[in-house]
Amino acid sequence: MSQRVDLHIHSTASDGQMTPFEVVQCALERQLRAISITDHDSVVAIEEAQNCARDTELEVIPGLELGLAHRGADVHLLGYFIDPRSPELLKALDRFRRHRYRRGEKIIDKLNRLGVDLRMETVMAIAGDAPLGRPHVADAMVREEYVNSYREAFARYLGYHAPAYVPRSGVSLEQAIDLIHHSGGVAVLAHPGVLSRDELIPEMVEMGLDGLEAYHYIHDQETARRYVLLAHQHGLVFTGGSDCHGGRTSGRHLLGKVPVSYHCVTALRKRQKWLGLRSVTPS
Ligand code: AMP
Ligand code: FE
Ligand code: FE
Ligand code: ZN
């Protein structure tokens, strides 16, 4: 058994293209010691993956990824060791799902005005039960031949600076961190190198942020090292994962291919214990 882990994977429960079963199979083939399926605004893959991994040596750590707008930035927050049955969490995720649906309608509206005659039904057929995300819209645009590729859909229409972009709403960064904590989890800033707003990190630490995702497929070695160092400086843990979405962009090959050690899991567990102790200590 290797000590390698992948703590950032998406499944068909959000915008990934592998089912939870396929994610577990792939992780077993690659002899990973632990994985976390961190679906966008969804925890439904967790128990399924844990069941698939039962009687194997693969550990499936509960996780999720929340997206929100903060100071003009598209901030992604990972939550680890959350309780996927937490009523407060499930209620919030249900609310986010409804926000995502309404945002989808706004995106479609903008696309229609731009001459792309896409319909909500087409997009929802692709999303299925998953909370609606831009990748589902992009897939629909490729299928209906409004663009030649998934990437083109983001570059011309759906990306942050593109004309059909609609920001997420519904939750602030502070509320998202609290939600993860109240669900028993540890809050980690996803791919800070992609966000590229390091000046926001001290304030996030004040809000209770627990960690930085130092290793990510977009981060080069130097970037990863910088975030490990920054995590140490702020007393945070660091984590890492591939952000594999299955075949759509970078493919299945990405799963487990960003080298991350099991030490990250141990550090997350320690942090979770510390948070628990802190919350019962009278102030
Ligand atoms: P949403 O949650 O609807 O805002 O969509 C965010 C997801 O879209 C990310 O998790 C990625 O999977 C994908 N994504 C965001 N920006 C891009 C981009 N520029 N190119 C390709 N995929 C992207
Ligand atoms: Fe995604
Ligand atoms: Fe992300
Ligand atoms: Zn992700």
Q: What φ, ψ does residue 44 adopt, rounded to 5°?
A: -70, -20
Ligand 1 pocket member 215 (CB < 6 A) = no
CATH H-level, domain 5-83+185-275: superfamily:
Metal-dependent hydrolases (3.20.20.140)
The pLDDT score that the predictor gives to residue 211 is: 98
Q: What is the atom index within ligand 1 of the atom nearest the CA of 100?
A: 3
In the reported structure, the alpha carbon of residue 282 is separated from the centroid of ligand 3 by a whole-number distance in angstroms of 35
At 36, list the tokens: 């976390």
Distance CA 270, CA 56 (A): 24
Instruction: Determine if ligand 1 sits within 6 Å of the CB of residue 208.
Output: no
Q: What does the pLDDT read at residue 12?
A: 96
pLDDT tens digits, one per residue of 182-235 = 999 999 999 999 999 999 999 999 999 999 999 999 999 999 999 999 999 999
Q: Closest Cα to residue 173, out of 82, 14, 42, 66?
A: 66
Q: How far is CA 81 from CA 14, 39, 174, 229, in A?
A: 18, 13, 19, 24
What is the C-alpha radius of gyration for the chain, rounded to an integer number of angstroms?
18
* pLDDT band for position 99 (cuts 50, 70, 90): very high
As a whole number of angstroms, the distance between CA 104 and CA 109 comes to 8
Mean pLDDT, residues 14-37 taken together: 96
- CA 135 to centroid of ligand 1, rounded, Å: 6
Cα of 189 vs centre of ligand 2, distance in Å, is: 15
Q: Which residue stretches of 55-114 are H helix?
A: 87-113
With both helix axes pointing from N to C terminus, report the angle between 87-113 and 134-143 in degrees, rounded to the nearest 10.
40
Q: Does residue 37 surpass a pLDDT of 60?
A: yes
The token pair at 28 is 């077993």
Give the residue among 7, 61, 12 at the shortest CA–CA distance from 40: 12
pTM for this prediction? 0.95
Coil/strand/helix, residue 187: strand
pLDDT score, position 31: 96
Given a cut of 70, whether residue 245 has pLDDT beyond it is yes
Contact 260, 238 (CB under 8 A): no
Q: Give the closest residue to 60 by CA, choosing from 31, 91, 33.
A: 33
Ligand 1: residue of 134, 147, 196 to mutate (most ligand atoms within 8 A of CB) is 134
For range 104-133, the mean pLDDT: 97
Residue 169 has pLDDT above 60, yes or no: yes
pLDDT confidence band for 249 (50 / 70 / 90): low
| pLDDT of res. 134 | 97
Which residues, in sequence order, are CB contacts of 281 under 8 Å at separation 6+? Answer: none
Residue entry with tokens 């966000």: 195
pLDDT at position 208: 98
Q: Which residues pair with residue 213 across a beta bridge?
A: 239
Q: Where are the domains of the chain?
A: 5-83+185-275
Tokens of 240: 């890492």
Residue 280 has pLDDT above 90, yes or no: no
Q: Closest Cα partner for 189 from 207, 214, 213, 225?
A: 213
Whole-angstrom distance, CA of residue 186 vs CA of residue 73: 21
Q: Which residues contact 233 (CB under 8 A, 6 or more apart)?
A: none
Shortest-distance Cα residue to atom 3 of ligand 1? 133
Measure 125 CA to ligand 2 centroid, in angstroms: 18
Contact of 80 with 239, CB cutoff 8 Å: yes
Average pLDDT, integer, range 255-277: 96
Backbone dihedral region for residue 60 (phi beyond 0: left; psi -120 to 50: alpha; all else: beta): beta
User: Is the distance from the beta carbon of residue 136 to the nearest atom of ligand 1 less than 6 Å?
Assistant: no
> Is residue 41 in contact with ligand 1, taking CB distance under 6 Å?
no
**DSSP H or E segment with residue 79:** strand 73-80
Q: How far is CA 2 from the centre of its chain?
A: 24
* CB-ligand 1 contact for 16 (6 Å cutoff): no
Average pLDDT score, the chain? 95
- Phi/psi for 116 (5° steps) reads -95, 110
Helix (H) or strand (E) holding 9: strand 5-9
How far away, in angstroms, is 38 Cα from ligand 4 center?
7
